[in-house]
Amino acid sequence: MHTRQFKSNLYKELATVTKSLSNPHRLEILDLLAQGSFPVEYIAMHTQMPIANASQHLQVLKNSGLVTTERDGKYIYYRMQNEQVLETWLSLRMLAFSQNEEINQLLNDYRLRKNQLYVIKTDELLEKMNNEDVILLDVRPKEEYEAGHIENASSKPFKNLNETLSDLPVGTDIVAYCRGPLCLMADEAVALLRSKGYTAYRLEKGYSDWLAEKRPVSAS
């Protein structure tokens, strides 16, 4: 094979991977799969897509080698192919935040509309955890909490948070986290908690970042 043709074939194969990342729905699916493995029904529900559409996007990701499947009973679960896919997703997200100011502006505008810019960094959270003066809440759906969560975090899904506030003591700092900076459940949880008189913050990042940084995690 001619050298030029050989190189063209190499870049063509590389493009199949990058092309699979060029769709916003598939990026949202990857953000969800960074939390663990889930069936297409769960993925469709939490990305608000028809099952058929979600399945098509998952097939594109699978064909490009980014996603794989495993069967559990009658369900087929989708998950990231390996740790490198998670690292790639987090790096791509970081690149977008550093190069596209519109992303940062959209998030800041959203938080300003909510009248809350209460964000805490990982180092600050670790210090509070070491001093045992913080309550850490995982506000993702329970399925994601059970797949994996930050060690010592309590599950308080945002959709039920208002009904379970009485379990939380007033006077202790509360930090809520969800899937990551593109996930808004933690922002909504902090807004609700502060409206009820709690001192609450959202973790700047989320579970997938914590996992990638090799920090302590647990699974139910």
CATH number assigned to the domain comprising residue 41: 1.10.10.10
Residue 35 lies in a domain: yes
Note the pLDDT of residue 2: 83
Angle formed at CA 206 by CA 214 and CA 139, multiple of 5 degrees:
125
In a domain, 103, yes or no: no
Please choose, from the candidates 104, 95, 180, the residue with its C-alpha nearest in 3D space to the C-alpha of residue 139: 180
Residue 29 sits in the same domain as residue 80: yes
Tally of domains in the chain: 2
Q: What's phi and psi for 56, nearest 5 deg? A: -65, -45
pLDDT at residue 205 in the model: 92
* Assigned domain for 46 exists: yes
pLDDT at residue 118, rounded to an integer:
87
Task: List the catalytic residue out of 119, 175, 178, 189.
Answer: 178
178 has catalytic annotation: yes
Residue at 95 is within a domain: no
Q: What is the pLDDT along the chain (220 residues), one digit of tens a residue?
A: 688 888 999 898 889 899 999 999 999 999 999 999 999 999 999 999 999 999 999 999 999 999 999 999 899 999 999 999 999 999 999 999 999 899 888 888 887 776 666 899 999 999 989 988 899 999 999 999 999 999 999 999 999 999 999 889 988 999 999 999 999 999 999 999 999 999 999 999 999 999 999 999 998 7
Select from 85, 118, 136 the last residue of a domain: 85
Alpha helices in the chain (DSSP H): 3-20, 24-33, 40-47, 51-63, 83-99, 101-113, 122-130, 142-147, 185-195, 207-212
78 and 117 housed in the same domain: no
| Residue 149 belongs to domain spanning | 109-218
Q: Find the CATH number of the domain harbouring 124.
A: 3.40.250.10
- By the 10 Å C-beta count (0-12 exposed, 13-18 middle, 19+ buried), 193 is classed as buried
pLDDT at 1 (0 to 100):
66
Q: Which two tokens stand for residue 172?
A: 């202790």
